[in-house]
Structure 1
Amino acid sequence: MDDANAPAQWHISAFNVPRYGVGHEGLVGRVRELRARILYDHGRRPDFRADDGSLRDDQDLDYGAWHFIARRDPDGEPLGYIRLSTPVTGALFQSRVFLGDAEYRRVLAAEGVEPNVVFEHSRLVVEQRSRKLGLGVHLNAVAIGAAHHLGAEIMIGTSGTKDGQDRFHGRFGFHPVPGTRRYVEQYTENVVILVHRTDRGAAEYADLVALWSANFPALVAAVGGAWISQQAESHPEPRSLRTIRTGAGDCWRPMLFEPRYADDRVAFGALLESDDVTEVHDTIDTQLIELIRSREPHRRFTDIELADKVTEQLAGAAPWSYGAWAWYPWSGRLVHVLPREEFRLVRTDRNREKIQRPQQRRLLGRRIGVIGLSVGSSAAVTLALEGVGGAFRLADFDELSLSNMNRLRAGVHDIGVGKAVLCARQLYEIDPYLDVEILPEGLTDDTMDKFFRGGESPIDLLVEECDTPYIKLAAREYARALGIPVLMDCNDRGMLDIERFDLEPDRPLLHGRLGDTRAAELAGLTAAARAELILAMVDAERISPQLAAAFPEIGRTLSSWPQLASDVALGGALVTEAARRILLGEDCESGRFYVDLAELIAPDRNTAAFAATR
C-alpha cells in the first residue's frame, strides 16, 4: 500500500509469524539480520555484533508477532522495519522485562487495563538515508494502526532518548511513564517506558494512523509469511499469481489456528479477509456429536440430550472458536476440526478392540522414517490412517511423474510435485496435528544423520523403499548401529522383509544375502550391476515369473521393472501390520514373509467352493 500524501512512495508488507514458528526459521532469521544491521549502525551499538563477526538480534518475541517491512520500490531492498506483539506473548514483552513483573503490573493498574488488551510495538529501525524521508513516521503509524484495528486498548514499549525517539513517539500520543528512565548498555543510551491509549487517538498523526488501521486487512499480503520467497525483500505478488504458485509449489505444512489464543484470532481474521481461502469446511457440530457418542456408545441420546451435551462440551465457547482451523495452502481449503486429543479419539474410535486406547497413545508417541516415497508413500499413508506413528520423517529426491501414477495415489495436478512434499500433504490431510518432517533432497551421506537422529528426535523404526543399492545398504548400516528395526516391502508376491536390529545388533544386513558387502563398495555401479545386485537382495529364485521375465527387458523393451497398485497397496498393509507389532512390543521376528495373492486366491483355496460340495 502507498500513501499518496507521503514525501516518498513506501511499499510496506505485513506478515505474522506463528508463536511456535515451525517452518519460519529462515524468515525470522532474515528479519533479525535486517534489524541487527541497522541497529549496529557501523559500530555505534557494538552489542549487536557477535564474537564470530555476525550481526545478531535474536529475540523470542519474533515468534507470535506481526512484522512490517518497508521498501522504497517494490523490488528494492528493505529500508525499515517495526514489530507489533500481541497479548499472547505478553510475558515476553521487552517493556515487561525492562520493568520487572511487579512494576509492569503497577503500570497497567495505573492505566486501569488488564494484560489481555495490551500490545507492544518495538524494534522500529530505519536506514539512515530514509529517516529524513518520513519512513519512520509511516512505519510507526502502520504498527499503531494495526494495533487499533486488532482491538488494543493500550500500547506499551521502550524508547531510546538519545536521538529524541521518545519525543518522536509523543507526536503519536505516547506519554512517558514517570520513574522508568534508565541507562541500557546494549543501546548505549537512556531508555524510558512509553504508553499509548488508543481511545485518546494518535495526536498529530491521528489521520495517518486511522488510514493504516482501515487498510490493515489489505496490507496483510499473506498469513505466517508463507508467501515470502528466499529473498525477504521480494514484494507481494498479485493474489492470483500467489495462489497458483502456492498450489503448485513445495509447501506441504498446514497452518493451524486455535481461536482461543488472541494472536491466532488475529491471524485467522486476516486469512479470512484475504483471497487465499478457496473452500471452508466447518463440520464441528457433527464432530462434537461423534465425540459425545464415542464416549458413551451404550447410550441412545435424544436430540435435546445431544444438544445439551454439545453445550456442556463447548463450556461457553462459541462453536466457531472451538478446536482448531487448519488451512492447507496448496489447496486453499480451510477446515474446522476438534482439539487434538478429541480429534484423535474420534478418528481412531473404530480401531478399538483391535488397537486399544492405551496402545493408540503409545503408537502416536513414535516417530517413523520412510525412505523412497513411491512404494513408501503407501506405507506412510496406511500407517497414518491406522494411527501407527504420530511423527514421520520422509526422504525422497524425486518428483511425481505421469508413469508413477499407476501405483502412487495422486492427481494429475500433482505431476511435478516432489514425492516427499506430496506424501507430507496427504498425511496432514489425514491428521493436521501430525509432526511431519521432509528431506526433499533425499537420503545421502550428508543427510543420513539428520534423517536418523533428527537432533533430539531419532526415529523409532525405518521403512526402506528406495531403488538405489548403495542407499539401501548404507541405511541399514546406520540403522543397525543405532538399533533401529527396518521394514521393506518388495511389492512382488507380497514379500515383507523384517530386520530387528533393535533386538539383534549383530544381525547380518539383508539376512546375509550379500555376504560382508559394505555400502562403500557399491559406488559407481553400472545399470546391469545394479539390477543384478537388487535381484540378489530380493532373492531371484523367489520372485514372481512375471518379474523374472521383466528384468532382462529393462532398458530394452521396458523403461523399468513393473509395479502394480495392488501390490503397492498390499505392501502398505503388510508394513503397517509389522510396524504396529514391533512398536507395541508384540511378536514380530526378523525374516522374510510372503503373502502371495496369486496363491491365496487360487481355486484350491476357495473355502466356499469346498463347503458347497459337502
Structure 2
Amino acid sequence: MNQQWHVSAFLASVDTVVSNEIVETVRELRARVLFDRGRRPAFRSEDGRHVDDQDLDYGAWHFVARKEPGGPPLGYIRLSTPATGELFQSRAFLGDAGFERILREAGVTPGETFEHSRLVVEHRARKLGLGAYLNAVAIGAAHALGAKAMIGTSGTKDGQHLFHERFGFRCVEGTRRHVEHYTEDVVIMFHDVAAGAGEYHELVTRMRGEFPELAAVEHTPAVALSHRRPHNLRGGADTTAWQPVLLTPTVAADREALQRLLDSGQVREIHDSIDAQIDELIRSREPWLPPHEDLTRRRHEQLGGLTDWEYGTWVFYPWSQRLVHVLPREEFRLVRTDRNRGKIERPQQRSLLGRRIGVIGLSVGNSAAVTFALEGIGGRFKLADFDEFGLSNLNRLRAGVHHLGVNKAVISARQMFEIDPYLDIEIFTDGLTRQNLDEFTDGLDLIVEECDTPYAKIAAREAARRRGIPVVMDCNDRGMLDVERFDQEPHRPLLHGLIGDVTADELETLSKQQKVDLILAMVDAERISPELRASFGELGRTLSSWPQLASGVALGGALTAEAARRILLGAECVSGRFYVDFADLITPATNTARSSV
C-alpha cells in the first residue's frame, strides 16, 4: 500500500483546549464528506453548517491523512477504545443486550473490544488507496493497543461492508437494517484479531509496528506516519530512471498494475486535476462559452459513463514518485497546445508532433529540447550526452541541486516527459560515438547539434548530409544561429565551408593547436564577441571552461525552436549563419520609444 499519505494521530481528551479545537476540525471534515452534496442531509444544519457532534470523539484516537505535512485533510478515521465502550455506535445500534450477546458468542469481553468508525475520504482522494491505508492504520493501532476484537457499523449502499470484509471483518447475521440518518442500510461488522486482517494482513501488521512511534507525537495533527528520521544519510535517489509509466484504468491489466503500484509504497504524491482538465478541454473546443457557464452536463458527456478516476491516463514518474492523472493522449495534446493557435494552427501542430528530432549535447541543447517539448515541436526525440550534471552547470541549465551527478540526457528526458508524458524519447548516455552514430541519426527529421566535442560536431553533420537531414545549432554567443539545409542541399560543405574539407576520422591526427584552430574556424573567430575572444587565452589559467550565461542559453532554445518550426513546416528558412545580438539590438539607436524631452 502506498506511503504517499502523511497521517497524524491524536488521542482526544475532554479537558484540553487543543483537543477541543482538533475535535471540532475533524467533526466538520467528517460531516462535510458524509453530507456528500446532499446525499445525507442530516449532516448539515439549517444554518448551513456541517455537523457531526458525538460524545464518542473524546477518549478516542483520531487519524487524519494529508498529502503533505500542514496540507488540507483528505481523509479521516476514528478508533474508540474500551474506555468509552458504553458510547460505541455499534452498542447504540444493537442495544446493550444485542451488543453483549455478539461479544459473548465471539468469546471476547467489552474490555477487549475496540470500535473503528467514521472512515471518510475526500472525493479527489478516492480510488487512490487512501481509504484502505487509513483503515489499516486504525486496525493496526487497535492491534498494537491490545485489542482482541473490533466491531463497527458499516453502510452497504456503495459496498462499504464488502470493503471491510477484505480486512478480515465479517457481517454479523441479522443485524442489517435501514438507518434514516445515513439514508441507507447499515450492518454490524466484527473482526477477530487472532484471525488476521485478510488480504491486507501484511499492511496492517506494518501499521501495528509503526503505531507506537506515531502515538508518541502529541498534539501535532500535521505529523506524517511515513515521516521517519533517516537511518542512512548517504543513501541516494535513482539517477538513471527517466521513463514514466503510463496506466489506463479502462484496460484491465493497467487497472491491476495501478492498484499494485498504489499498494507498493512507491507513490509519494498523487496529483489529480482531471476535472479541471476536462473543463479546459470543453472550453478549448467551445471557446465561445461564457466564463461562468456550468459545465457539469458537458463534463458528464465527456466522461461517457466512466468515473472521473477511470478517465484518461495515470502517469507514474519513478524519479519523483509522483502519480499524475492526465487526459487521454489526443485530448491532452489538444488542450496543451491550444494557446499555440493563431501562431501554430492545429493541422500544423499535428504535423510537428509527427516529427522525430535528435539533440546532441544537453547543456545548451537542454534549452532547445525543453523549448521544443513546450511548443510541441516534435513528438519523438533522441537525446545524446555522455556528461553528468555538475554544480557549475547550474548557471545556465534549468535543473536543480537534486540533479547533481545525473546524466544530462536523463535530466532532459525527465523534464520533457513532465511536460508531455506521451512523448517518445530515446536517450544515448554515451553521447554520440562511432558505434551509435547510425542508430542515432536513423529516422530523424532534424538534428540540433550543441556539443563541445569536435568529432561529434563533424560526424553528426557528415551523417546528416548523407541522410538529407537539416541541422541547426546555437553558438551561445552573440545569439548566433547556424542553419544547414542538407535536406535541400545534399552537397553543401559542412559548417558553410569554414572548416575546409576536414573529416571526423581525420581529427585524431590533428595536434592540440590544430583542434583549437578548428574550433575557432567553426565559430568564425572574426565575429565572436569581445568577451569570448578575450577568454581564449585564459582557459586553463583563470577560467575553467568557456563562459556561458543562462540568458544566452535561453535565447538559443528560442532561436533553434524558431528555425526548427520553420524547417519542419516548410516555411522559409535558408542555410546560413544569423545573429540576434543583444549588444546590437538594445542600443539608443534602436530605441523605438525615444523621449521627446
Q: Which amino acid aligns with 1:607?
A: T
Matched, 1:608 2:593: yes
Which one of the candidate residues 510, 519, 531 is aligned to 1:546? 531
Aligned-pair CA distance for 1:531: 2.6
Aligned-pair CA distance for 1:270: 1.1
Greater RCO (CA < 8 Å, at least 6 residues apart): 2
Q: Which amino acid aligns with 2:436?
A: T
Corresponding residue of 2:385:
396
In the alignment of these two chains, the number of paired residues is 386
Check the 8 A contact 1:247/1:329 in 2, yes or no.
Answer: no
Say which one has the larger Rg.
2
Q: Note the alpha carbon deviations across 1:199-256, whole angstroms, 9 max, x for none.
A: xxxxxxxxxxx9996669899xxxxxxxxxxxxxxxxxxxx99999783320000001
Check the 8 A contact 2:239/2:405 in 1, yes or no.
Answer: no
Q: Note the alpha carbon deviations across 1:105-135, whole angstroms, 9 max, x for none.
A: xxxxxxxxxxxxxxxxxxxxxxxxxxxxxxx
Q: Note the alpha carbon deviations across 1:274-331, whole angstroms, 9 max, x for none.
A: 2111111100011111110111111216553x01100010011000111001110000
Show the 5 A alignment for 1:189-588: 247-300=237-290, 302-304=292-294, 306-453=295-442, 458-523=443-508, 525-588=510-573
Aligned-pair CA distance for 1:530: 2.8
Change (3 A) 1:424 1:245: farther
Aligned-pair CA distance for 1:521: 1.0
Q: Distance in 2 between matches of 1:563 and 1:432?
A: 31
Check the 8 A contact 2:197/2:204 in 1, yes or no.
Answer: no
Q: Which amino acid aligns with 1:496?
A: L
Aligned-pair CA distance for 1:613: 2.1
Corresponding residue of 1:84:
none
Check the 8 A contact 1:464/1:488 in 2, yes or no.
Answer: yes
Change (3 A) 1:460 1:243: farther
Q: Distance in 1 between matches of 2:203 and 2:325?
A: 22
Q: Which amino acid aligns with 1:255?
A: V
Helix, strand or coil: the match of 2:381?
strand
Change (3 A) 1:242 1:435: farther
Corresponding residue of 2:110:
none
Aligned-pair CA distance for 1:527: 4.5
Aligned-pair CA distance for 1:558: 0.8
Q: Distance in 1 between matches of 2:204 and 2:369?
A: 40
Check the 8 A contact 1:246/1:329 in 2, yes or no.
Answer: no
Q: Distance in 1 between matches of 2:262 and 2:236?
A: 17
Change (3 A) 1:244 1:578: farther
- Which consecutive unaligned segments of at least 5 residues does structure 2 have? 1-162, 164-195, 206-229
Q: Which amino acid aligns with 1:613?
A: S
Q: Distance in 1 between matches of 2:520 and 2:362?
A: 21
Identity, % of aligned positions: 63
Corresponding residue of 2:131:
none
Q: Which amino acid aligns with 2:538?
A: E
Check the 8 A contact 1:360/1:387 in 2, yes or no.
Answer: yes
Aligned-pair CA distance for 1:524: 5.5
Corresponding residue of 2:171:
none
Q: Distance in 1 between matches of 2:365 and 2:355?
A: 18
Change (3 A) 1:478 1:212: farther
Q: Note the alpha carbon deviations across 1:434-476, whole angstroms, 9 max, x for none.
A: 00100011110001011011xxxx1110000110111111110
Q: Distance in 1 between matches of 2:312 and 2:254?
A: 12
Normalised by the length of structure 2, the TM-score is 0.61
Check the 8 A contact 2:361/2:385 in 1, yes or no.
Answer: yes
Aligned-pair CA distance for 1:602: 1.1
Normalised by the length of structure 1, the TM-score is 0.60
Q: Which amino acid aligns with 1:531?
A: V
Show the 5 A alignment for 1:127-138: none
Q: Distance in 1 between matches of 2:373 and 2:522?
A: 28
Q: Distance in 2 between matches of 1:266 and 1:243?
A: 34
Helix, strand or coil: the match of 1:613?
coil
Q: Which amino acid aligns with 2:520?
A: L
Check the 8 A contact 1:218/1:274 in 2, yes or no.
Answer: no
- Which consecutive unaligned segments of at least 5 residues does structure 1 have? 1-148, 150-209, 220-239
Q: Distance in 1 between matches of 2:232 and 2:491?
A: 53
Q: Distance in 1 between matches of 2:492 and 2:591?
A: 39
Show the 5 A alignment for 1:42-61: none
Q: Distance in 1 between matches of 2:447 and 2:578?
A: 18
Q: Distance in 1 between matches of 2:379 and 2:234?
A: 31
Aligned-pair CA distance for 1:532: 2.1
Helix, strand or coil: the match of 2:237?
helix
Change (3 A) 1:468 1:328: same
Change (3 A) 1:247 1:343: farther
Q: Distance in 2 between matches of 1:329 and 1:241?
A: 22
Change (3 A) 1:545 1:254: same
Corresponding residue of 2:187:
none
Q: Which amino acid aligns with 1:597?
A: F
Check the 8 A contact 1:491/1:567 in 2, yes or no.
Answer: yes
Helix, strand or coil: the match of 2:451?
coil
Change (3 A) 1:542 1:587: same
